[in-house]
Structure 1
Amino acid sequence: MRTKRFSLIHLLILLPVTVLLTAAMVLGILYQTIGKEGLSLLEGLSLINEKFVGEYDEGQVVDAALEGMVEGLGDRWSYYLTEEEYEAQNQRRTNQYVGVGVTVNYESEEGLQIIEVTAGGPAEAAGLQAGELITAVDGFSLAGEARYEGAERIQGEEGTTVTLEVRSADGQIRTVKLTRTRLETDPVTAQMLEGNVGYVGLANFYDHSADRLKEEVTRLQEEGATALVFDMRNNGGGYLSQLTDMLDFLLPEGPIFISRDRAGNEEITQSDASCVDLPMAVLVNADTYSAAEFFAAELQEQGVAVIVGEPTSGKGYSQQTFQLPDGSAMAISTGAYFTGGGTSLIGTGLTLDKEVYLTGEGDAQLEAALELLTGNKTEAQD
């Protein structure tokens, strides 16, 4: 009995010591991993949860802290996304969305003006047309500042319904009930211009964009295109894999993309010998970012394309998106990238072959590109 009693006493003494040692080890690991600044963040949240007397939403507190952390990097290309924003981004990057199939603008203070109706969507089936005005959503008026809430109110879960009040160009008002559905967006538009110049407009570098660009370029070649214009204006970029697939398709054998991580490790992406042997031009503006900007730079560096338009931002970092335990995400710059010839665009942006700004009449940038390619002023066919 004496031996057992001593063992129990020793156990009771050792138990809190073990707990303390384990806690100290955990704190030591945390300190080595995230430092005193990281521990301060954790302690700050703990103090709020234990001491703060007012009402608050812990999720909003964490969102604000994480957003501030990313902003503190001072990197314009890194960003934080709430759970809802991250889900919306993932959907958008598939070149699909759930909605009714209308593209709108906010120019009218009386509601959302329809500028395009998606073929095959619920809006087209209900007879909505470009030029009409959506003045209310489910009874909620979109007049004035409320119109900026309109797009979000029209969106929703697949299979649910939404009721729109629509005013036609002649002032007639009707009510339309639509069922939201999943719709695909085509990132590529293409047509043959006068002089057998193929025009290819690219909206983004997300899913299916490379395949669609290849399809349209091939079609234009089969129709007799003697030159190509790639429109990268207002293109915010997208996936590296889509960019390199396009460059590999267009360019001859050689390096087309170089990336370098924090440790200095380099990865070089090569193009094969197959290529599109046509003179090219790329249209850019101040909203040509990331993969779109790099696309123009690489084609120019290889001597196959001229660049026309406005100065660009000079992006040279790639981002990785990391989902966090609460469903939110951080997209942070994890690599520097360079053209196949080793040039970074940071601080310089693109070197324009011809700097041209839009004036509101016609498309001076496209016309300038066509003049460089053909020596003649050419316009798009009707």
Structure 2
Amino acid sequence: MRTKRFSALHLIILLPVTMLLTAGVLLAVFYGIFGKEGLSLLEGLYLVNSRFVGEYDQTQVVDSTLSGMVDGLGDRWSYYLTEEEYAAQNQRRTNQYVGIGVTVNYESEKGLTIVEVTAGGPAEAAGLQSGEVITMVDGFSLAGENRYEGSEHIQGEEGTTVTLEVLGTDGQTRTVEVTRASLDSDPVTAKMLEGNMGYVALANFYDHSAERLEEEVTKLQEEGAVALVFDMRNNGGGYLSQLTEMLDFLLPEGPIFISRDRAGNEEVTQSDASCVDLPMAVLVNADTYSAAEFFAAELQEQGVAVIVGEPTSGKGYSQQTFALPHGGAMAISTGAYFTGNGTSLIGTGLTLDAEVYLTGEGDAQLEAALDLLAQN
């Protein structure tokens, strides 16, 4: 009996000691991996959760901490996303969105001016037309500065309804109920210009963009295009896979993209021999970033395209998005990239064949590109 009592007592004493030793080992491992800075972050969260007397939102505290961590990198290309922002980004990158199917601008002080109505979308079904102004959303006035919040109020879950007050082109106001739906957003638009010059505008490098670009370029070739103009203005980039697929389609055999990770490991993407054998031009502006900027650089380096427009930022790092346990995400630069010949755009941006700015009348950049193509 004495032995059993001794064993039980020994076990009671041993358990806390074991737990303390385990905690100590974990703390040592954590310190070894993250250092005192990592321990400080953990302790800061512990102090807030255990000692702070005011009311607070823990998710907001974590979001602010992680956002500050990314800001501290001093890298303009890395960023932090809250749970809501991450979900919205994932939706946007599918080239689909939930909405009513209108493109708007902020020119009118009265609200959101409808520039375009998506064919087959809810807005068209509800009778909304280009030129009309959405002045109120579910009782929220869009007059003045409020109009900049209008899109947020119009967006919502698929299948739900939104009540709009609309000022028609005849000056009459009416109330319209529209059911939100999931809509496809085509990243590519194309047309044949005078002189059989093919024009292809690309909005982004997200899902289906390479497939759509190939379809439109092929169609223009079949219609007799003698040259191609790619409009990359206001294109913020997207997926590397879409970029390299486009370059492979357009360019002859050879290296088209080189990436290098933190450890110095290098990966080279090659194009096959099949290509589009036409002179090309790329339109760019200050908002041509990432894959769009690289697209122009690689076509120019291969000697198949001229670049027309405004100086670009010179991005040379690729970002990887890491989902976090609480629903947010951290997108940080994890690789440097180079053209097929090993050139980085960092600090230089694109070398323009013609530096041209828009003046508000016509499209001087497009005209300059067409002139350069006509001279070749």
Q: What is the TM-score normalised by the length of structure 2?
A: 0.99
Q: CA deviation at 1:111?
A: 0.6
Q: Distance in 2 between matches of 1:326 and 1:180?
A: 28
Q: Superposition pairs for residues 1-382 of structure 1, below 5 Å?
A: 1-375=1-375
SS of residue paired to 2:325: coil
Aligned-residue sequence identity (percent) comes to 84
For 1:314, the aligned partner's letter is: G
Q: Distance in 2 between matches of 1:13 and 1:173?
A: 79
Q: CA deviation at 1:94?
A: 0.4
Q: Distance in 1 between matches of 2:329 and 2:273?
A: 39
Q: What is the TM-score normalised by the length of structure 1?
A: 0.97
Gap regions ≥5 residues in structure 1: 377-382
Q: Distance in 2 between matches of 1:373 and 1:57?
A: 58
For 2:100, the aligned partner's letter is: V
Q: Distance in 1 between matches of 2:370 and 2:100?
A: 37
Q: CA deviation at 1:102?
A: 0.5
Q: Distance in 2 between matches of 1:352 and 1:47?
A: 54
Q: CA deviation at 1:9?
A: 2.9
Q: Distance in 2 between matches of 1:233 and 1:254?
A: 27
Q: CA deviation at 1:43?
A: 0.7
SS of residue paired to 2:269: strand
Q: CA deviation at 1:330?
A: 0.3
For 1:350, the aligned partner's letter is: L
Q: CA deviation at 1:8?
A: 2.3
For 2:144, the aligned partner's letter is: G
For 1:280, the aligned partner's letter is: M
Worse overlay, 6-15 or 132-141:
6-15
Q: Deviations over 1:89-116 (max 9, x none)?
A: 0000000000100111112121111111
Q: CA deviation at 1:247?
A: 0.1
Q: CA deviation at 1:84?
A: 0.3
SS of residue paired to 1:326: coil
Q: Distance in 2 between matches of 1:179 and 1:73?
A: 43
Gap regions ≥5 residues in structure 2: none
SS of residue paired to 1:313: coil
Q: CA deviation at 1:80?
A: 0.3
Q: Distance in 2 between matches of 1:14 and 1:246?
A: 65
Output the aligned Cα RMSD: 0.9
Q: CA deviation at 1:69?
A: 0.3
Q: Runs in 1 of length 4+ with deviation above 4 angstroms?
A: none
Q: CA deviation at 1:127?
A: 1.7
